Amino acid sequence: MDISYINFKGSFVYLISVLDGFSRAVLAWSISTRMESLDTQLVLWDACDKWLGGEKFLAVRLITDNGSQFLTKEFKQILKEFSIHNVRTSVNHPQSNGKLERFHGTIKTELIREIPMYSLEQIREEVGKWIEEYNSVRLHSAIGYVTPMDVFYGRKEKILAERKEKLLEAKLKRKQYSVKANIRLVA
């Protein structure tokens, strides 16, 4: 989980995101005019409610930096409620949360710096569309050229097996075609 600044009409708004490190899926996000603990709590609660379904898991870890938003008693209470272990990055070491830092860099480069910022609602709408495509359409090289949601829902291996089968079929057809073409040339 992390917060990224977005320059908006001479001031800032904040993109707060929760990303699943295994699948690279963005589980929850918000564009907020504040960067306070309550804002991070709402995004974390949304991620837990949607994706953990209120269930407790044994090995859920949340990587955050040492921002004051992540150190409050209320934020820690949500972590405790969902049995989430908070791993805080080293000070001045954003690489420790590199997957989310990369996501924030990508969304800024591909979308946020390119859209006209007429209103906060417009930014939220465009970010929502972009994240939906990022999660469900965009193929990621780091996870085998499948979508984050394919990995999140356990469809990756089936997709890769189907691709492998199609490649084998294509190779066999090319070989058969090549043999037929050579027979015609000899005859």
Dump pLDDT digits (tens) for 20-29: 999 999 999 9
pLDDT at position 90 is 82
pLDDT at position 31 is 96
pLDDT at position 50 is 84
Task: Return per-residue pLDDT of the chain as tens, 187 residues.
Answer: 999 999 888 889 999 999 999 999 999 999 999 999 999 999 999 998 888 765 555 568 999 999 999 999 999 999 998 889 999 988 877 777 899 999 999 999 999 888 877 889 999 999 999 999 999 999 999 999 999 999 999 999 999 999 999 999 999 988 888 777 777 666 5
Strand positions, DSSP E, 2-155 = 2-8, 11-19, 26-32, 61-64, 85-88
Domain boundaries, the chain: 2-142, 155-187
* CB contact set of 39 (below 8 Å; sequence gap of 6+): 14, 16, 30, 32, 69
Please report which helix (H) or strand (E) contains residue 173, including its range: helix 156-186
CATH number listed for the domain at residues 2-142: 3.30.420.10
